[in-house]
Amino acid sequence: MSKRGKGIIEAKQKVDSTTRYSIKDAVDLVVSAARAKFDENVDAAIRLGVNPRHADQMVRGSVVLPNGLGKKVKVLVFAKGDKEKEALEAGADYAGSDDLIEKIKGGWLDFDRAVATPDMMGNVGKLGKILGPRGLMPNPKVGTVTFNVADAVKEMKAGRVEFRVERAGIIHSPVGKVSFGADKLVENFLALIETVIKLKPASSKGTYLRSISLSSTMGPGVKIDPLDVRNILR
């Protein structure tokens, strides 16, 4: 048996798939079960009691994680004039208007996040088929279509993540890296879950947080007790 296969089996043996753990215990398990030689990402999967097919039950938003994501984020800003200058001074990796649009049409996509000023959206909208499927399209609902480009850039560099419920009613979102340690991962996770709870649609009936789990890139999923989450956030 390969070392990798043996490591995966040992990691899975640490986790009881039938148990819903407290947040602290779940994070400790995720960190201890990570066996890869690289610094694994830690991701949350949150199943909600919503029907995303109904527009009034779409859950979408963003949150600045208090401890960031542990990686450099390349930010592009579609803007003109003073706003282009403001974006670059705030730390944007790229800023411009029609020049960037044409470059992207040609196949260039060397950036992780995109922001646009409202006056640029008429032209940026033409990139919908390119940026949309990759989750890179600026959207006013998550604050990436704004004239306040400096704050948007700083938040993204600091660890802002965007999330959107999928057709199956699940939100997938990163909350950091294994190297952060348990305390910082707990803080990031609670910031995410608190934001998700605040976005609960009025039309959503019954149990909103149906199930929650955490996992590292190569590790097993660890279930979290939603009741423990609600008690902590109270």
Domain 75-157: CATH superfamily, name plus number = Ribosomal protein L1/L10, domain II (3.40.50.790)
> How much of the chain exceeds pLDDT 90, in percent?
78
Residue 56 CA: distances (Å) to CA of 21, 60, 163, 200, 201: 32, 11, 16, 10, 7
pLDDT digits (tens, 9 = 90+) for 18-74: 899 999 999 999 999 888 889 999 999 999 999 999 999 999 999 999 999 988 899
Domain 16-69+160-233: CATH superfamily, name plus number = Ribosomal protein L1/L10, rRNA-binding domain (3.30.190.20)
pLDDT digits (tens, 9 = 90+) for 118-159: 999 999 999 999 999 998 999 998 889 999 999 999 999 998
Round to whole Å and give the CA distance between 174 and 84. 29
The amino acid at residue 107 is G
pLDDT at 1: 44
What is the rounded average pLDDT for all residues in the chain? 91
CB-side neighbour CA atoms (13 Å) of 197: 18
pLDDT digits (tens, 9 = 90+) for 148-201: 999 999 999 998 998 999 999 999 999 999 999 999 999 999 999 999 999 999
For the chain, which residues make up each domain, given as ranges? Answer: 16-69+160-233, 75-157
Round to whole Å and give the CA distance between 96 and 108. 14
